[in-house]
């Protein structure tokens, strides 16, 4: 079955002025600019297509970490171009971008959803719940539709 729901992960980094910003701030900047790079080594990057649904997850141990903070949809999937995309990219690149997702229907959640409160209900979490963080590595992961609804605050 073809996947059409994904989680994109974001961690802290540096803004264009070389000032460190939290994962939450970084994600908000990307969402404001309606683009999200997929790095050369991002898993699943070839699976995502136009109109696929996305959730934005904040990694790390800072404000809103371990939470879903937004949802969006894919408007376009483009090959990264320094000429086109780098001008709009609000952060310092922390990898080599291969593709970029152009986003639409972006919705910042009023209350971030703490993924730790949902661990027992998610299909992709390992049996050993102490190691749940491994499921959130790699920059991106596909989701079953049911998991998407649980993490987006929509009851399926």
Q: What is the pLDDT of residues 50-63, one digit of tens each?
A: 999 999 999 988 98
* Residue 113, domain extent: 5-152
Of the pLDDT bands very low, low, confident and very high (cuts 50, 70, 90), residue 119 is confident
For the chain, the average pLDDT equals 90
Residue 70: pLDDT band with limits 50, 70, 90: very high
**CATH code where residue 58 lies:** 3.10.590.10
Q: Which pLDDT score, from 0 to 100, does residue 1 have?
A: 54
**% the chain with pLDDT above 70:** 97
Q: Give the least confident one: 29-33, 76-80, 87-91.
A: 87-91
pLDDT at 156 over 50: no
Does residue 99 or residue 139 have the better pLDDT?
Answer: 99
Structural domains of the chain, count: 1
- Which stretch of 12-16, 29-33, 78-82, 118-122 has the lowest confidence by average pLDDT? 118-122
Mean pLDDT of 33-51: 93
Cα-only R_g, the chain? 15
pLDDT at residue 91 is higher than 90:
yes
Across the beta sheet with 5-10, what order do the strands follow? Answer: 35-39, 97-114, 67-79, 53-58, 5-10, 140-143
């Amino acid at each position: 079955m073809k996947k059409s729901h994904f989680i994109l992960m974001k961690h802290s980094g540096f803004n264009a002025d070389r000032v460190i910003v939290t994962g939450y701030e970084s994600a908000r900047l990307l969402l404001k600019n309606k683009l999200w790079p997929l790095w050369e080594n991002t898993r699943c990057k070839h699976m995502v297509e136009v109109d696929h649904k996305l959730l934005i997850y904040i990694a790390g141990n800072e404000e809103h970490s371990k939470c879903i903070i937004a949802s969006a949809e894919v408007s376009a999937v483009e090959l990264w171009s320094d000429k086109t995309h780098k001008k709009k990219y609000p952060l310092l690149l922390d990898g080599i971008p291969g593709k970029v997702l152009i986003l639409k229907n972006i919705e910042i959640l009023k209350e971030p959803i703490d993924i730790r409160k949902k661990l027992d209900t998610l299909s992709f979490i390992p049996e050993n719940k102490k190691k749940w963080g491994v499921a959130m590595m790699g920059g991106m992961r596909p989701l079953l539709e049911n998991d998407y609804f649980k993490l987006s605050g929509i009851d399926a």
